[in-house]
Structure 1
Amino acid sequence: MTERPTFAELFAGCRTSAVHLEMREVYEPADPAFQDWLSGVRTDPVERFRDWYDLVVATVARGVDVRRARIVSEPVTDYIRHEHEDTAALNVAAGERVRWLPRRAASDLALPGNDFWLFDDRLVRFGHFAGDGTYLGDEITEAPEVVALCRDAFEAVWARAVDHSEYRPG
């Protein structure tokens, strides 16, 4: 049995595109960065998430298009407000392109049941979370019909979503 690739290995092997669709209202509620934010403590997100920042910078430097789309309910949760505040300094500064789509504008889109990363239009990594946002694990597939579903869903969301620089959380 072959070992599953790590997230860093998936990025390292990526040649053209890595796209991420997020559809949850909260992720990892016990995360110290979020807990600090709730307490009013603001820190440099790059310093907190240096590994992620460096991974994206290196990936984009190789010519890989890294995009992230977030479907959010409005009014947004505290967690989404926290994410929004850090997005320019962390994700966008690293080279990701990020867009936001209010959930009410996604009602007629066919979406998979879980958040995912799609690498090079060939491999999908689904993230599984508990109802409270606690990470439970992931699932990887290269099934062509799943890849097509995720590609089409992401592109449909991306076409409607608002660039991070213009999105104001409702």
Structure 2
Amino acid sequence: MSPSCVPNFADLLRSAEHTAVHLEMRDSYGIRDEEGGFTEFLRTGRADPDPDSAHWRGWIPLVRETVARGVRIRRARIVSEPVTDYIRWEHAQTSMNISVGEQVRWLPRRLASDIAVPGNDLWLIDGRRVVFHWFTGDGDWAGHERTEDPDIVRMAAAAFEAVWDRGIDHAKFAV
């Protein structure tokens, strides 16, 4: 994995003044720095509950800092059913995301058929800039693209809000 393929999430979230929304649409990811946690989940059925562990070290403090500045962070995931082992793992660890201030909803893919969504996962910051994430076929980072093109930003915002509006709150979504 090339370091240039991985976006700098700290810079991205630190640039947010009001909102940061994340749309995820893959049923599995193969991101190398997640391998240990995912393998452990497959072995034990448990996600890492320690916010100070190596798995969470970069994310938890960043989200806490961002939310403390008054930024609303929302994450929406479109998932196939039955869910993959990877999605079961994401679901198991999402309580950690929520405990530090993220809001998370899940949308079964069968309920998203009439929503026009972009071809790639994305972050939308303050409704004015989008970062698209590209992944390889096996789910590792392949790159990213940033844009402030108003037409693309509007499309991404509309897609996210449509998914969010239909999404099921994490507490009510069973895997």
Provide TM-score, normalisation by structure 1: 0.92
- The runs of 5 or more residues in structure 2 that have no matched partner are 1-6
- Cα offset for 1:79? 0.1
Residues 29, 37 of structure 1: alpha-carbon distance in 2 compared, 3 angstrom cutoff? farther
Task: State the match for 1:149 in structure 2.
Answer: 155
Once the two structures are aligned, what percentage of the paired residues are identical?
52
- Cα offset for 1:41? 6.7
Question: Per the alignment, in what secondary structure is the counterpart of residue 8 of structure 1?
Answer: helix
- Cα offset for 1:9? 1.1
**Deviating more after overlay: 22-31 vs 93-102:** 22-31
Q: Are 2:161 and 1:158 aligned? A: no
Provide TM-score, normalisation by structure 2: 0.89
The whole-number CA distance in structure 2 between the counterparts of 1:38 and 1:134 is 19
Task: State the match for 1:16 in structure 2.
Answer: 18
- Cα offset for 1:44? 2.5
User: Could you report, residue by residue, the CA deviation over 1:30-54 in whole angstroms, capped at 9, with x for unpaired residues?
Assistant: 5211111112274325222121011
Residues 82-97 of structure 1: pairs in structure 2 closer than 5 A: 82-88=89-95, 90-97=96-103
The whole-number CA distance in structure 1 between the counterparts of 2:173 and 2:152 is 30
The whole-number CA distance in structure 1 between the counterparts of 2:45 and 2:167 is 30
Tell me how large the CA RMSD over aligned residues is: 1.6
The whole-number CA distance in structure 2 between the counterparts of 1:136 and 1:126 is 11
Q: Are 2:38 and 1:34 aligned? A: yes
For this pair of structures, how many residues does the alignment match? 165
- Alignment match of 1:78 (pick from 82, 85, 88): 85
Q: Are 2:46 and 1:44 aligned? A: no
Task: State the match for 2:74 in structure 1.
Answer: 67
Residues 23, 45 of structure 1: alpha-carbon distance in 2 compared, 3 angstrom cutoff? farther
The whole-number CA distance in structure 2 between the counterparts of 1:85 and 1:24 is 17
- Alignment match of 2:120 (pick from 114, 127, 148): 114
The whole-number CA distance in structure 1 between the counterparts of 2:83 and 2:103 is 20
